[in-house]
């Protein structure tokens, strides 16, 4: 239905009908005429019309966002018009609104439940938690590894924000560590980067080699493809879980957070770092920090992506020349302070975000005390990835 709507809008545009094409007219052509007895797809009458209507609405929302982006009323980078989707290269979803007639039987106290969907029937569920209220919509997602995921839209009580232990913090994301965090009282720490893809790289490579030897179209190839997809999903879920826990701990602990506005897509074009950057998941981690901060009423201040946070001394502001990625610790040529590259960058982000003027309860400086020493260059030590347990 999505592709039919996009194709119909394209045909009408080529015929000279531009923005004046109404959603009702286009959806009537796509939905009603297609599944009519003499239409192009009469088998569509066998599935729920609510699911088809939601797919058409998704396509219409894509066009609205496209035109809003062209006119400048939509924030963020400019987006293109909706394009046709391949059934082999996209995650398949179906969504039902409340008026579609779905039913949820919540038996989470027994570890399971049931979902009844129109024209599909009663399906067993494994619920992760009790539903706090009656869902207004449900989305069923089919993953590449053959599993299905169900998500509900429900109303929840506003999250009560904890009293933060710190007034301000600067965050510098990276590869060696997921992030370095510097607080206004001079304390700091690093968040470990478990490198989930690297940890499963051998198993994934073995499954991919097996897949390449299978005959196309065979059942063994389909089974092996599912095994590869399962490995990818385990990596994705482990990374997301780690990011959620670390973002929640940071937001609950800090009132105001300074972040860098990074162009991660541009950074990945560096082929020497592309794999490590993708394994880190910087964009996802920064997005979760912003979302959780908005949810709990915290303040997030963004610093320009061209700010040289790793090149300036956080004690005196001196540059002292370019410092490559191999230099993880350096001594300032102006004041002599020995600085950790990542922690120093986090302090600079906090200063550039305007959060460094905040002092702690004892009136101490927000900057860590300098350590005077001779200029030195230290190569980064090998860091052993560790996985954090559940919190």
Residue 284 inside a domain? The answer is yes
Residue 202 inside a domain? The answer is no
Q: In this predicted structure, what is the pLDDT of residue 151?
A: 93
Residue 77 inside a domain? The answer is yes
Both tokens assigned to 75 = 């924030």
Nearest Cα residue to 58 out of 89, 78, 82: 82
Q: In this predicted structure, what is the pLDDT of residue 173?
A: 94
Are 24 and 126 contained in the same domain? no
Residue 214 inside a domain? The answer is no
| CATH code for the domain of 231 | 3.30.420
Are 13 and 73 contained in the same domain? yes
What residues form DSSP beta bridges with 166? 254
Mean pLDDT by 10 residues, the chain (391 residues): 83 71 74 73 81 87 89 85 82 87 79 87 88 91 90 87 87 93 93 94 94 93 93 94 96 93 86 90 95 91 89 86 84 86 92 70 41 37 37 31
Domain that holds residue 59: 2-90
Residue 207 inside a domain? The answer is no
Alpha-carbon gap, residue 250 to 254, rounded angstroms: 6
Both tokens assigned to 331 = 């001594």
Residue labelled with tokens 């959620």:
244
Are 42 and 122 contained in the same domain? no
Are 57 and 117 contained in the same domain? no
Q: In this predicted structure, what is the pLDDT of residue 383?
A: 40
CB distance 310 to 324 below 8 Å = no
Q: Which of 65, 90, 115 is the last residue of a domain?
A: 90
- Which residue spans within the chain are E strands per DSSP? 92-97, 103-107, 112-117, 121-125, 137-142, 148-153, 166-173, 177-183, 188-192, 254-260, 299-303, 329-331, 338-340, 377-378
Are 121 and 252 contained in the same domain? no
Length of the chain equals: 391
pTM recorded for the entire structure: 0.78
Are 29 and 149 contained in the same domain? no
Pairing of strands 299-303, 112-117: unpaired
Both tokens assigned to 344 = 């120093």
Cβ count near 115 (within 10 Å): 22
Both tokens assigned to 156 = 């929840």
Q: Which of 50, 74, 90 is the last residue of a domain?
A: 90
Q: In this predicted structure, what is the pLDDT of residue 178?
A: 94
Structurally, the chain folds into a number of domains equal to: 3
Q: In this predicted structure, what is the pLDDT of residue 169?
A: 94
Are 70 and 130 contained in the same domain? no
Residue 383 inside a domain? The answer is no
Residue labelled with tokens 């937001």:
251
Q: In this predicted structure, what is the pLDDT of residue 373?
A: 33
Are 237 and 303 contained in the same domain? yes
Q: In this predicted structure, what is the pLDDT of residue 108?
A: 64
Are 374 and 284 contained in the same domain? yes
Residue 274 inside a domain? The answer is yes
Q: Which of 56, 90, 124 is the last residue of a domain?
A: 90
Are 322 and 192 contained in the same domain? yes
Are 246 and 370 contained in the same domain? yes
List the catalytic residues.
172, 260, 342
Alpha-carbon gap, residue 331 to 344, rounded angstroms: 11
Residue 305 inside a domain? The answer is yes
Are 76 and 102 contained in the same domain? no
């Amino acid at each position: 239905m999505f592709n039919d709507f996009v194709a119909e809008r394209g045909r009408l545009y080529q015929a000279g009908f531009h923005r004046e094409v109404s959603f009702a007219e286009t959806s009537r052509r796509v939905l009603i005429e297609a599944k009519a007895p003499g239409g192009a797809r009469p088998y569509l009458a066998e599935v729920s019309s609510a699911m088809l209507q939601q797919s058409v609405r998704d396509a219409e929302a894509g066009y609205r966002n496209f035109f809003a982006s062209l006119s400048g009323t939509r924030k963020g980078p400019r987006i293109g018009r909706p394009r046709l989707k391949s059934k082999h290269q996209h995650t398949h979803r179906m969504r039902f609104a409340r008026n579609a007639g779905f039913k949820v039987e919540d038996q989470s106290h027994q570890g399971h439940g049931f979902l009844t969907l129109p024209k599909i029937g009663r399906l067993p569920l494994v619920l992760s938690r009790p539903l706090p209220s009656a869902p207004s919509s449900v989305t069923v997602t089919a993953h590449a590894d053959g599993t299905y995921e169900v998500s509900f839209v429900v109303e929840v009580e506003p999250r009560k924000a904890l009293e933060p232990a710190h007034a301000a913090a600067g965050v510098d994301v990276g590869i060696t560590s997921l992030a370095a965090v510097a607080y206004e009282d001079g304390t700091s720490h690093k968040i470990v980067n478990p490198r989930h893809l690297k940890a499963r790289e051998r198993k994934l490579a073995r499954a991919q080699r097996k897949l390449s030897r299978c005959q196309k179209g065979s059942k063994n190839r389909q089974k092996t493809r599912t095994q590869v997809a399962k490995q990818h999903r385990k990596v994705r879920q482990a990374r997301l879980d780690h990011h959620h826990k670390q973002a929640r701990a940071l937001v609950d602990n800090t009132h105001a957070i300074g972040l860098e506005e990074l162009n991660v897509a541009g950074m990945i074009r560096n082929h020497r770092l592309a794999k490590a950057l993708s394994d880190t998941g910087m964009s996802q981690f920064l997005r979760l920090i912003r979302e959780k901060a908005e949810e709990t009423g915290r303040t997030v201040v963004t610093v320009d992506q061209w700010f040289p946070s790793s090149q300036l001394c956080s004690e005196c502001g001196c540059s002292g020349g370019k410092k490559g990625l191999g230099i993880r610790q350096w001594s300032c040529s102006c004041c002599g302070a020995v600085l950790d590259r990542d922690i120093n960058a986090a302090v600079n982000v906090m200063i550039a975000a305007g959060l460094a003027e905040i002092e702690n309860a004892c009136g101490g400086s927000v900057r860590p005390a300098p350590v005077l020493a001779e200029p030195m260059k230290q190569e980064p030590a090998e860091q052993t990835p560790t996985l954090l347990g559940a919190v």
